[in-house]
Amino acid sequence: MNQQYVEAFTVSGREERTTNAVEAGGNGIIGKLWSHFGHNLPGPPIAVYSSYASDKDGEYAYLLGTRSRGETAAELVERQIVPGQYVVLSFEGATTPEAIVGLWMQVWSAETSGQIKRAYKTDFEIYSASGVQLFVGIDA
């Protein structure tokens, strides 16, 4: 796992609250957001995880959008990526739900084993034609 300092930036898009248990149970909102809005974004998709109630088992906000260009439509939400140290994981290839869960499983394993201490402020995924990069905020 690589570490990288990330400067603050803003993402605007559609946001809902969920939990990992809800998402794993097949009735989640993440797939629905992607189905309804993922292909109509005006730039590379970015998924932001924020407003954590506690830890990986608690409720959090999931925003699907793009980098803010200064103007945000009334129906969209803006989230600022908190500046700081992030662990970066990458996946090259088709970005299936299973591939994304696989990246998160690596994060959860590293957290459980004490390799990383998550900040639980903002985490985000940046999607491209070649794959996805997952940035997980850590306490430095």
Q: Is the pLDDT of residue 8 over 80?
A: yes
Tokens 């996946």 sit on residue: 91
Confidence band, pLDDT 50/70/90 cuts, at residue 118 = very high
Q: Is the pLDDT of residue 77 over 80?
A: yes
Q: Is the pLDDT of residue 74 over 80?
A: no
Report the pLDDT value the prediction gives residue 140, as an integer from 0 to 100.
Answer: 73
Q: pLDDT tens digit string along 27-43? A: 899 999 999 988 889 89
pTM over 0.85: yes
Mean pLDDT confidence for 15-35: 94
Tokens 């940035």 sit on residue: 135
CATH number for the domain spanning 103: value is 3.20.80.10
Mean pLDDT confidence for 121-134: 97
Give the residue among 25, 18, 140 at the shortest CA–CA distance from 86: 140
Alpha helix ranges (H) inside 28-125: 30-37, 97-112
- DSSP state, 83? P
Alpha helix ranges (H) inside 1-140: 20-24, 30-37, 97-112
Q: Is 110 helix (H, G, I), strand (E, B) or coil?
A: helix
Domains: count for the chain: 1
Domain that holds residue 50: 2-138
